Amino acid sequence: MLTKFKKRFQSWMVAEARLARRAGLTPNQVSAVGILLALASGISYWMSGADLHIGDSELLLVLGSIFLLASGFCDALDGALARLHGEVTVLGGFLDSLLDRYADAAIYSGLILGGLCDLSWGLVALVGSLLVSYTRARAEAAGVPMETVGLVERAERLLIIAAASFLNLLWAESLRWSVAALAVLTNLTVAQRVAYFRSKAASQERDTS
C-alpha cells in the first residue's frame, strides 16, 4: 500500500543520499548499518522483556522502535544512494533483499523472545512476513510485477510495529495485539498475491495460446 507513495518518498531521499555521498558513504556501508540497527532493535525488544526495572524496560522498548525506524530509513537510503552513484546492480538488489529478510527475522525474534507477543502469533507473523517477500520475488522472476499488491508490504509492517511499540508504553497489550494482527494481515497479503499472480499468469497463457 505505502509503496504507491514510493516515487514521492524517493524524491525526498535524494537530498539525504547526496549528503551521505558527500560523507563518503557507499550503498553497501549503509546496508551494513541498516542490518546492524535491525539487530540492535531485536536485541532491545528482547531485553525489554527481561526482568529489569520498569524504567529500563520502557527505555529499551523505545530504543527498539527507534532502531527499527532507523533501520528502515537505511533500507530506503541505500537504494537512493545506489541510484545516485549509478551503482544499481542485480547483485546489490539480491543482497539488499536478503538482508531485509534477516532484519525482519531479528525484529520478530526479539519481540517473541522478549515476551512482547504470543509465541504462536509471533511465529505466524514472521512466516507471513517472509512469505510476502518470497511471493513477490517468485512472481517477478516469472515476469509478473508485484509491487503495491497486498495490504501490508514491508514499510507498513515496520510502521505498525514501531507505532505499537510507542503505544505499548500506554497500553501494555498494544504490541501483543499488533503482532497478532500482522499474523493475519501478512498471510492475507500472501493470499492476495497468489490470487493476483494466478490471474496474471492465466492472462499471459491466454495471450500466448
Per-residue pLDDT of 36-45, as tens digits, reads 999 999 999 9
CA distances (Å), origin 67, targets 22, 37, 38, 48, 52: 24, 5, 6, 14, 20
| Catalytic one of 78, 96, 100, 104 | 100
pLDDT score at 53: 60
Per-residue pLDDT of 181-207, as tens digits, reads 999 999 999 999 999 999 988 887 676
Average pLDDT over residues 107-123: 96
pTM of the full structure: 0.88
Specify the higher pLDDT residue, 36 or 12: 36
User: 1: which 3 cell numbers?
Assistant: 500500500
For residue 102, what is the DSSP state?
A: H
Exposed / middle / buried, residue 16 (Cβ in 10 Å: 0-12, 13-18, 19+): middle
CA distances (Å), origin 27, targets 14, 17, 73, 91: 13, 9, 13, 12
Per-residue pLDDT of 48-94, as tens digits, reads 987 666 568 889 999 999 999 999 988 888 877 777 767 667 777 78
How far is the C-alpha of 168 from the C-alpha of 179, rounded, in Å? 12
Helix axes 174-208, 119-141, angle to 10 degrees: 20
Residue 96 designated active-site = no
Residue ranges and CATH numbers for the domains of the chain are 2-208 (1.20.120.1760)
pLDDT score at 56: 84
pLDDT score at 51: 64
Expressed in angstroms, the distance from the first to the final Cα of the chain is 33
How far is the C-alpha of 131 from the C-alpha of 190, rounded, in Å? 7
pLDDT exceeds 70 at position 8: no
Assess contact for 161 and 72: CB atoms under 8 A.
Answer: no
Percentage of the residues of the chain whose pLDDT score is greater than 70? 87
